[in-house]
Structure 1
Amino acid sequence: MEITVAKSAGFCFGVNRAVHMVHDLLEKGEKVCTLGPIIHNPQTLQELHAKGVQIVESPEEAPSDATLVIRSHGVPQSVLDEIQTRQLKCADATCPFVKKIHTLVSKASAEGKIVLIAGDKNHPEVEGIRGYCGDCYIFKDAVELEQLTSNIPHLNQKPVLIVAQTTFSVSEWENCLEIIKRVYTNATIFDTICNATAKRQSEAAELSEHCDAMIVIGGRQSSNTAKLRDVCRQNCTTYLIETADELPLPALKGAASVGITAGASTPASIIKEVLVTMSEFIENAGANSTESADTSFEEMLEESLKSLNTDEKVHGVVVGIAPNEVYVDVGRKQAGFIPVAELSADPNVKPEDLVKIGDEMDLLIMRTNDQEGTIMLSKKRLDAAKGWETIAAAEENEEILTGVVTEVIKGGVIAVSNGVRVFIPASQATASRNDPLEDLLKKEVKFRIIEVNRNRRRAVGSIRSVLKDERKALADKFWEIAEEGKEYTGVVKSLTAYGAFVDLGGIDGMIHISELSWGRIKHPSEVVNVGDTVNVYIKGLDSEKGKISLGFKRAEDNPWEILKRDYPTGTVADVTVVGMTTFGAFARIIPGIDGLIHISQIADHRIEKPQDVLKVGEVVKAKITDIDFDKKRVSLSIRALLEPVEEEVAPVEEEAADAE
């Protein structure tokens, strides 16, 4: 086994400075208390506690005769003010990199800028930074940043300063920067991730790419240690331990190479203890040989089997099934069993879902225990050996494979195909980056292999590549038969200010906002939502540009057709006054159609303005006196309903005059 230790493992400058400050105070005979744990390492804290160092949660708890040490994370200005008010002796061990952030956000807030902080809102460093801000918002990753931009859209119109927690994930910061540069074009950005943090994460990532397993040493409460674990976990099996006693030695037996890194709060003594324990383990196991980079997979497999005291391949018959293992008869005096972890590459599988009594299968002997009379077997490893040939061939031939997504992990998903775990990055897992990865869990998917590392037994796949080809095939078929007027049933895929995009099954078309309703609307969401199933028809096709214009409104719903059918000229209707002008009032006849009541048609006598008789919202009876369908105009009259009374009087008066 080859062991490699990352160059930047262990104490960073800020933590080292804080711990030394406490030790220096103790050597001077001073009574010391720290504002919160000085370091996220239980062993170091125990050592300091034994020397009399007390941990307090607030300045109020600090003894008046003790020196209060502020840890490297820093504290809000209000805490410093309280320390000064209480006249406590204080030693400030705030990391200079953190103090720089305090200065940046304090100045920005004084200038009226809004501060955005990339980090864990519950981490003491972020709590300290927040104490120097006015208006500020905190996001822990790109997902929360996207939510922030949606929930508070006005932020992109204001001056913004953006900083990061010094131990923030470098890769996640890069994801956030893509969003920041797209949305907050007026933002001032400071990359405040500590250089030591960035270097430590970079080295850990590179080392984990070349190792079968990684050991990350550090306190479980340490933010930067947790990020190291997450970085390494993307590339290989990773274990987080606090001391050498927690080393997973049995699990490391099959590893040809092991990498070791440590968080910024891990003392050198603990790293050394882990190395000594690992060296003794290798010496005792007799596994001090390493493989060259060009060793074939078959040779590596054979060597790993030797280190596991493996015997040979055998053929077995399932004779029993338990929750944690399967019992197999391999034709020997020993009882054969397959641990559930060695049954399948899917960690969530249940034995009864995979095998039944009487099933026959080829297996690999992993360990023989003559004293107990048992043989430990593996189906997973033999499947993987065979499966790798299929995986490698699939990459060369660009063959499409099928597999089941068994895990959703940071950065993507794991799919099992032919007994091999294939990593599919988030960028390659779905048709759109906004599609949730969780929807893929337990689903069978099709993918291509885009990268294979046989030495490290790693494969990278792409579901998006297959989906893209499938959509292209559907699109080609669509264009062959598409014609204007043809109707389709589709699903609303996304909304914009100017319309709705509809998935017609492999190709998208757009319903312009003017086509969504016969009435006036401000946004497509007033009519449809993402995910709605809609019936549409093709209004226009542009095969060269690949654009499809869709119609959504139905002719029978056209309010002008309804008016023509149900409200001919001469109809008396109840109308609602919706607006006033100097020359008359507009009234709603039916939704989508307003008519004009000219000022001369409002009353049977002269009026100065429409408001003298009518008010907005009032319902009145009016007669439709004229309809111009070409110009989409309707004339209404209230007076026409009053004039017949006057017109009946006029002839009588005329007859009387004639009689005289």
Structure 2
Amino acid sequence: MKVILAETAGFCYGVERAVNLARETAKARGGAMLGSIVHNAGVVREIEDLGMRLITSPDQAKAGETVLIRAHGEPRATLDALREGGAEVVSAVCPHVERIRKLAQEAEHEGRRVILIGERHHPEVQGIAGWCSDPLIFENVQEAQKYLQEHPDFAHLPSIMLAQTTCIRALWESCVKFLKKQCTNLKINDTICNATQKRQTEAAELSAKVDAMVVVGDRRSANTRHLTEICRENCGKVLQIESADELSPEFFSGCRVAGLTAGASTPASIIMEVLTTMTEENINTTAPETSESFEELLEKSFKTLNTGDKVTGIVTAIGTTEIQVDVGCKQAGYIPVSELSSDPDVKPEDVVKVGDEIEAYVVRVNDVEGYATLSKKRLDAVKLWEDIETAVEDKTVLEGTVTEVNKGGIVVSVKGVRVFVPASQSGMPKDSDLGQMVKQKVKLRVTEVNRARRRVVGSIKSVLNEERQAAQAAIWEGIEVGKHYDGVVKSMTSYGVFVDIGGVDGMVHISELSWSRIKNPAEVVSIGDHLDVYVISFDPEKRKISLGVKDRTQNPWDVFMNTYKVGDVANVRIVKLMTFGAFAEVVPGVDGLIHISQIADRRIDKPSDVLSEGQMVDAKITAIDEEKKKISLSIRALLSGEEEAPVEE
């Protein structure tokens, strides 16, 4: 029989961290652990032997005593009770569990109801629930269905969905599928631990290709129990044990290949004991092909770090000056805030969160004090140079911020790398002031990289040209008469303005700018103004577009007729002086004639003797020709108080 050991069997980093912290605390000052540090009786006995007693409630703690909080976490009320009793609390809570707690608290602060998918009475679920005011806990999709049937209004309330770290993937996905359809304001956070997911995936794959499967772990351990359930779905012969003593040769009768996995709370020593028993003592078999690799895995947990190594770890704590990282070695890893990001003003919590996986370089190792200094910033810089070199080959568009004007061009910072952009490639007109681009965010394409000289050259113009061409193609593809656009005035002439409607310029004739009479476009618009324009006509071959601004639905004559009648007095604006009289604007777009005989109560030689263009005067409406849309006005009627007969033109 051949024995295959799952690669990720045994302690996960969260459990290993908790156990190591418990050992250190027990040796340094003793104290008590509130509940089993992990679900493994052997580990708990070991910690007790080192001088740390096991208590089950906060009132059993002594004043001034150090109390260790287990990996599963505790409710807020429990921690408050410990502190009120004078105990010194040391947290061994798994960073993943801590992250779920924070997500739940933040969601409640936003007004969301917390939904937890997991085992209702499991310490981890109880601990997280103890930080929420009124969480919902569903152990399966049927419970979720029943709750929504009884509380249909809940489907429309804001909520968040979180998972126990050791939740079975299939269970989580079935709940997500149901609640996603039912709830209209649901936020979903997949908080299943990556290590748990990988362990469950390996267990499923391994159990599907063996004749018998052994799962090692404490019977109180949820993740061990879930591994057993997953294995039983794929293999007809599955045995869950806590130690090698529970193995028997009869179980493996007729088996050619057996599989072995273990829960996250199972120490490597117990796994090795079970593996040895399966391969050498109780069962007459050949040595497993993976026994050597398992020893290598054990050795890996005691590996040391060297300067220049690239390591991957999990963020376990974030302080004001440094970030603590578990890299799975005997040395503790720390990233000084100055080595976290190239941005000196960045806040650590904006870059990483507890429980995040992070890559970094080892910049210094202190074996005497047992820690290693790491740098994420330096690794990011190396990766960035690699990305920039790749960007040249792939012609990738990058984003950056203009930081300064240089001789012959500008400098753009792309994630901390200085990129020189010649003036001719800046996208600005020749001889324009490049200083106005400083602090602007721009898109560019890298055209040249010399890593040895740390020289990078880029082009903004090429990106702008492509964007402009794409925008122009989109405009011409969808243009039609009457279609409206948000346009920007680019330039003005005496006869109209040119408006950019998204990469293509169109012409608005002066007569289309306003219903009122204007002599120059500058009277109503300025360069840079946004206008709601519509297409009057267009010629795709000549690439010409005629645009309008005047609202055709607001006919000025209708406005006039709805506002005035014969005999009314209007305050009008003189818009044009003629030899026979003056034209005055009554409402925008509608003019009336003041005959020279109706301008004054005395004889005048010409209208300019009394009036000037732009002058505002009161005039009486003496006649309206609706058919010809003509209006007769009189100033004289107001001066003399006489009724004046309309004057024929």
TM range (shorter): 0.3 to 0.5
Greater Rg, structure 1 or structure 2?
2
TM (normalized to structure 2)?
0.43
TM-score by length of 1: 0.42
